[in-house]
Amino acid sequence: MSKYVIETTDATFKKEVLESEIPVLVDFWAPWCGPCRIVAPVIEELSGEYAGQFKFVKVNTDENGASAAQYGVMSIPTLAIFKGGELVDAVIGAVPKNMLAQKIDEHLQPVSS
């Protein structure tokens, strides 16, 4: 796994995701999930490209169901984007790298007042 991707648990979710100073992409996944394995290398690539601007976190839903349930994750992979402790966007399923990068870019833009 990339040095820029953090595995978190229900116990560390608040600290790693909700209290993060920068936006976070959370990959809700499970080891048996085929599409999860397809999207994993994309997340690893993006984590290096956006290092320092965006945080990348993986949550194994088999072992950490409370976090997934709290945010209504019904299908995996669900790639959820959090900013300022709030869920602001999500993509369900294995999506192409350019689509995921576009979503990340949208959330890097400063909020206009």
pLDDT tens figures, 82-101? 999 999 999 999 999 999 99
| CATH 3.40.30.10 is held by the domain 5-108 | yes
- How far is it, in rounded angstroms, from Cα 103 to Cα 113? 20
Determine which one of 6, 17, 24, 36 is catalytic.
36
Determine which one of 33, 73, 79, 100 is catalytic.
33
Q: Model confidence over 2-57: pLDDT tens digits?
A: 689 999 999 999 999 999 999 999 999 999 999 999 999 999 999 999 999 999 99
Q: Is 112 a catalytic residue?
A: no
- How far is it, in rounded angstroms, from Cα 19 to Cα 62? 23
Indicate if the pLDDT at residue 113 is higher than 50.
no
* Backbone phi and psi for residue 43, each to the nearest 5 degrees, phi listed first: -65, -40
Q: Is 33 a catalytic residue?
A: yes
Peptide bond before 96: cis, by omega within 30 degrees of 0? no
pTM for the predicted model, two decimal places:
0.93
Q: How many CA atoms lie within 13 A of 74 on its CB side?
A: 1
